[in-house]
Amino acid sequence: MEFSYNWDWSVLLCTVEDVEIGCIAPYFYWIVEGFGWTIAVASAAWVIAFSWGSFIGILRTLEAPIWLVVPFLKPSMKYKSSVIETGNGAVMINIGWFLHGFATVYVTIFRNIPLLVQMFLWYFVLPEVVSKEAGMWLKREMPLPEYWTAVACLGLYTASRVGEAVRAGINSITQGQHYAAMAIGLTRVQVYRCVLLPVAYRIIIPPLTSDFLGIFKNSSLALTIGVLELTAMTRQIDEYSYQTFEAFTAATVLYILVTAIVMFAMRIVEGRVAIPGMISLGAK
Partner 1 sequence: MEGSFDFAIILKSVPYLAEGMVLTFQLTFLGIAGGIFFGTLLALCRLSPFAPLSFVAGSYVNFFRSMPLILVIFWFYFLVPFIVGHPVGGFWSVTLAFIMFEAAYYCEIMRAGIQSVTLGQVYAGQALGLTYRQNMQYIVLPQAFRNMIPILLTQAIVLFQDTSLVYVVGLGDFLVHADIVANRDNRLMEMFTTVAIVYFIICLLGTFYIRRLQRKLANA
Binding positions for partner 1, rule: CB under 8 A:
1-3, 5, 108-109, 111-118, 120-121, 124-125, 128-129, 213, 217-221, 223-224, 231, 234-235, 238, 244-245, 248, 251-252, 255-256, 259-260
Comparison of 94 and 224: residue with beta carbon closer to partner 1: 224
> What is the rounded CA–CA span in Å between residue 30 and residue 214?
23
Output the smallest distance, CB 256 to partner 1, in A: 5
In the bound state with partner 1, the residue whose beta carbon lies nearer, of 102 and 120, is: 120
Between residues 192 and 255, which has the closer beta carbon with respect to partner 1?
255
Alpha carbon 15 to chain centroid distance? 36
- Identify the CA nearest to 147 among candidates 217, 214, 226: 226
- Nearest approach in angstroms of CB 86 to partner 1 is 40
> Which is closer to partner 1, CB of 15 or CB of 108?
108
Long-range interactions of 222-227: CB distance < 8 A, separation 24+: 222/37, 222/41, 222/119, 222/146, 222/147, 222/150, 222/154, 224/116, 224/119, 224/120, 225/119, 225/120, 225/123, 225/146, 225/149, 225/150, 226/146, 227/37, 227/41, 227/146, 227/147, 227/150
In the complex, minimum distance from the CB of residue 226 to partner 1, in angstroms, rounded to a whole number = 13
- What's the min distance (Å) between Cβ of 258 and partner 1? 8
We find the least distance from the C-beta atom of residue 273 to partner 1, in angstroms, to be 24
Tell me how far apart the alpha carbons of residues 276 and 273 are, in angstroms, rounded to a whole number: 9
d(CA 154, CA 151): 5
- Distance, in Å, from the CA atom of 230 to the CA atom of 213, rounded to the nearest integer, reads 15
| Residue closer to partner 1 (CB basis): 253 or 273 | 253
Smallest separation (angstroms) from partner 1 to the CB of 259 = 3
Q: What is the chain's Cα-based Rg? A: 25
Return the number of the residue (84 or 254) whose C-beta is nearest partner 1.
254
